[in-house]
Amino acid sequence: MTSPRTGKPGSGAPTRRRVLTGAGAAGAGVVAAGLAGYFARPAAPATAPGGVLAGGDATVPFYGPHQAGIITPAQDRLAFGTLNAVPGATRADLRDLLRAWTRASARMTAGQPVGEDAQPYAPPVDTGEAAGSPVSRLTITLGYGPALFDHRFGLAGRKPSALAQLPPLPNENLDPDYTGGDLCVQACSDDPLVAFHAVRNLARIGMGVVEHNWMELGFGRTSTTTASQRTPRNLLGFKDGTRNIKAEQTQLMKDYVWVGPETDQPWLRRGSYLIARKIRIFVENWDRDYLRDQEHVIGRAKVSGAPLTGGTEFTVPDFAAQGSDGQPVIPADAHIRLASFEHNRGIRILRRGYSFTDGIDPQAGTLLGGLFFIAFMKNPGQFIRLQRSLAADALNEYIHHTGSAVFACPPGLRPGQHWGDTLFT
């Protein structure tokens, strides 16, 4: 954990940060005894190597060469918030905010509340809903959107050339209410309340400097990011992420996920690009499709997850295999074929998506839900290439991209560093 630092609130600094400052100076000792272990774990984070402890008390180290929440074994739940700077917010505001967020995130991911004070006549520093909930491997990952590098904060010279709005892509009809954002906060945990709590509290801290742009909750992971994890299923009922890059594949991570010396912005090295896509699945239509057709759309058997060319889930698909009719066994427009690295000049991305639902379509009465796709990559061009390949995807009949955003996620921090340190210096 970090000890709360005394900030230097300037004019227009967030109220929230002053509260934090107060907590550090006076509040901690007063009634902290009754509130220690907000998340029902010791204040001193007992981190495990790789953060792969199974129990709810397990934490993932906040500090490290890369931000947590990228190759961290995918947690079960997601809260994803994008925020925009409010008009009039200054460079100093943004810098102070990133410092306050760093402090709060280090605490929350260690299983501690944002602040320990509880004065009867002050609003509690922490919103409190996660009190008693195990931290459940909470990670908080920060990203900067392209617009953050416009004229407002004097960051134009720090903009990575690869960070740009995505071009129009096939099969999308983007809802402006779910598109873009100056900043993003990805909170993942095995406990939904803990993930939600993190985004809520960061937004609260940011009040006056940033405001919510859009937010999404993911209720089930759809990817594995390590070899030891069981492959989950998406709302199509198929296993998802079988061929994802795994954390153990360090060379592939280096080649396809981590920003390296190729970037024009040294501050971003060891960081990664995050692309989020809200993908609606027309589940009612999908559910009416007969089994064999569903399997041909995906290219895998529904129950076992094995490719149509046989074997078990992890058998490598044989894209060249032909049936007795002379046609490819995995159809030419099967999803796994068009998304494969074999079909895309070797390109890979690290997927880390979640199933989501926003309730019911007010016009159609059908489910508004699907896949909240998140992927990390060395360069957004990787996703663009893959998405263009998927123009011919058989699955397009059943899905539609309705939200989109791209962010540059800075590298990890050392204790004492803050998000934004490297950006602003």
Partner 1 sequence: MHTSGTSTRHAAAATARPTPDPRPRTRRPRWAPVSVAASAAAGLALAASGCASSPGPAVSAAGAGQTVTVTIQLTPQGCAPKPARVPAGAVDFVVANKDADAVSEAELRTADLSKILGEQENLTPGLSGGFSLTIQPGSYTINCPGAARQHWDFTVQGKATGPSWTSNPQLAAAVRSYASYVDRSTADLISHTRAFCQAIDAGDLGQAEILYPRARIYYERIEPVAEIWGSLDTAIDGRWENPVTVASQFTGFHKIEQLLWEDNTLAGARGLCAGLLKNEQQLLTLVRSAQYNPLEMASGATDLMNEAATSKISGEEERYSNTDFPVFQGNLEGATEVVALLQPYLQHKDPSLLAQIGNRSAAITALLARYRASPGYDDTGYVEYSTVLDAQRRQLSAAVNALAEWLSKLSVQVSSG
Instruction: Catalog residues that contact partner 1 under the rule CB under 8 A.
Output: 168-173, 282, 284-285, 288-293, 295-297, 299, 301, 306-310, 322-334, 338, 362-366, 391-392, 394-397, 400
The answer to whether the Cα torsion of 414, 417, 419, 424 is positive or negative is negative
Nearest approach, Cβ of residue 300 and partner 1 (Å): 9
How far apart (Å, rounded) are the C-alpha atoms in residues 81 and 214?
A: 6
The letter for the amino acid at 226 is T
Nearest approach, Cβ of residue 311 and partner 1 (Å): 10
How far apart (Å, rounded) are the C-alpha atoms in residues 368 and 166?
A: 24
Closer residue to partner 1, CB minimum distance, 34 or 167: 167
Closer residue to partner 1, CB minimum distance, 4 or 317: 317
The answer to whether the Cα torsion of 262, 263, 269, 272 is positive or negative is negative
Closer residue to partner 1, CB minimum distance, 47 or 171: 171
Pairing type for strands 272-281 and 367-377 reads antiparallel
For 202, phi and psi rounded to 5 degrees? -65, -40
Tokens read off for 178: 């779910």
Asked if 79 and 404 touch (Cβ cutoff 8 Å), the reply is no
Nearest approach, Cβ of residue 240 and partner 1 (Å): 19
Alpha helices in 273-369 (DSSP H): 283-287, 291-298, 335-338
How far apart (Å, rounded) are the C-alpha atoms in residues 38 and 285?
A: 45
How far apart (Å, rounded) are the C-alpha atoms in residues 396 and 412?
A: 36
Nearest approach, Cβ of residue 352 and partner 1 (Å): 25
Closer residue to partner 1, CB minimum distance, 209 or 334: 334
Nearest approach, Cβ of residue 288 and partner 1 (Å): 4
How far apart (Å, rounded) are the C-alpha atoms in residues 144 and 149?
A: 8
Closer residue to partner 1, CB minimum distance, 175 or 255: 175
For 27, phi and psi rounded to 5 degrees? -75, -30
Asked if 109 and 62 touch (Cβ cutoff 8 Å), the reply is yes
Question: How many other β-carbons are positioned within 10 Å of the β-carbon of residue 182?
Answer: 25
Closer residue to partner 1, CB minimum distance, 59 or 340: 340
Residue indicated by tokens 């970090």: 2
Asked if 276 and 405 touch (Cβ cutoff 8 Å), the reply is yes
Nearest approach, Cβ of residue 293 and partner 1 (Å): 4
Asked if 81 and 37 touch (Cβ cutoff 8 Å), the reply is no
Closer residue to partner 1, CB minimum distance, 264 or 293: 293
Nearest approach, Cβ of residue 385 and partner 1 (Å): 13
Closer residue to partner 1, CB minimum distance, 221 or 280: 280
Nearest approach, Cβ of residue 171 and partner 1 (Å): 6
Closer residue to partner 1, CB minimum distance, 247 or 308: 308
Closer residue to partner 1, CB minimum distance, 211 or 333: 333
The letter for the amino acid at 7 is G
Tokens read off for 419: 């998000």
Grouping H, G, I as helix, E, B as strand and the rest as coil, residue 254 is helix
Nearest approach, Cβ of residue 235 and partner 1 (Å): 16
Nearest approach, Cβ of residue 21 and partner 1 (Å): 48
